Amino acid sequence: MSSQSTKSLILAFAERSRHHLNKADYFRKEIEPLLLKLYPSLDGKVEDGTADWSCDIMNAENDAEVEATLQRIHQIETRRNKELKIRVLSDRLNVLEHEVSQVETELRKLERE
């Protein structure tokens, strides 16, 4: 095989590879909005966002792996949402406790008068 025909083969494989990458990019862009429909909390995330998860889904070897990935996303997002709710409620509780403390202080002042 001549050096020119070897180069031609390399160019052909590179072209096919780019074609497949373009197809993969197309499918990734189709999967990402669907993931956002299921899990709006993924919006704007760089790490563990729709791009990461869509690549995991596209790299799955079968439907069972896709289902497992979707289940993993669900579990992670459910846990994150629960943790966020706990933080918000904890912050609200701290504010209420501070307000109660202020009211108690005011009451004691009034009782002493």
- The domain spans of the chain are 3-112
* pTM across the whole model: 0.68
* Tens digits of residue pLDDT in 30-76: 999 999 999 998 888 878 888 899 999 999 999 999 999 999 999 99
pLDDT tens for 87-113 read 999 999 999 999 999 999 999 988 888
- Determine the pLDDT at residue 17: 82
pLDDT band at 4 (very low <50, low <70, confident <90, very high): confident
**Cβ contact 65:55 at 8 Å:** no
CA distance 87 to 41: 16
Which one is predicted more confidently, 20 or 72? Answer: 72
Angle at 79 between CA 76 and CA 84, to 5 degrees: 125
- 46: helix, strand or coil: coil
Count of C-beta atoms within a 10 Å radius of residue 74: 12
* Residue indicated by tokens 């406790």: 97
